[in-house]
Amino acid sequence: MVNDMTRLLGLDGLVVERVGLDATGVPVVDLSTGCEQARCCPQCGQRAVRVKQWATTRPRDLPVAGRRVRLRWRKRRWYCSTPACPRRSFTEQVAQVPARSRLTTRLRQAAGAAVADGGRTIVQTARDHGISWPIVANAFTTHATAVLPA
């Protein structure tokens, strides 16, 4: 399963299927799920067997080799197979792309660190990474809380 592009990208649990270029020459990275844990219900832990639907998510990420890339992760929504489980269905997630997150964990951390440790302003950092400033403000708060517990 693991190929060279997957190793280069380095997002645990995600496999690079192919890399194309969009109309403006930006690399578009098609990803699939490469982690068995992603199909286990987050509530009861049971491994799901029945797909409810497919969804495509486009989380923002750090540049790869200095180039901005566009990620496109085609993932499944599963029915939980435990009859009594209150969680009837769930979407695949991995540590680097939590459910409902619109950016990778490593981008969120880098944005928070750029403001907290790198002396960048929130607006500069948002522009650097092509994300909105409220997301950066939130990442900064998370980073500062982790680094400065007091």
Choose one: 35-43, 96-104, 127-135, 142-150; the region binding Zn ion (CB under 5 A).
Answer: 35-43
Interface residue with Zn ion among 50, 87, 88, 127 (CB under 5 A) is 87
Write the DSSP symbol of residue 76. Answer: E
Distance, in Å, from the CA atom of 125 to the CA atom of 122, rounded to the nearest integer, reads 5
| Residue 127 binds to Zn ion (criterion: CB under 5 A) | no
Structure-derived torsion over alpha carbons of residues 127, 5, 39, 56, reported in degrees to the nearest 10:
50
Between 39 and 106, CB nearer to Zn ion? 39
Q: Classify the C-alpha dihedral 94-99-100-106 as positive or negative.
A: negative
| Residue 50 binds to Zn ion (criterion: CB under 5 A) | no
Interface residue with Zn ion among 21, 44, 123, 147 (CB under 5 A) is 44
Interface residue with Zn ion among 11, 31, 38, 41 (CB under 5 A) is 41
Choose one: 18-26, 77-85, 116-124, 142-150; the region binding Zn ion (CB under 5 A).
Answer: 77-85
CB atoms within 10 A of CB 140: 21
DSSP of 7-22, one letter per residue? HHH--TTEEEEEEEE-
| Residue 85 binds to Zn ion (criterion: CB under 5 A) | yes
Q: Are β-strands 70-79 and 27-33 bridged in parallel, bridged antiparallel, or unpaired?
A: parallel
Q: Which residues bind Zn ion (CB under 5 A)?
A: 41, 43-44, 80, 82, 85, 87
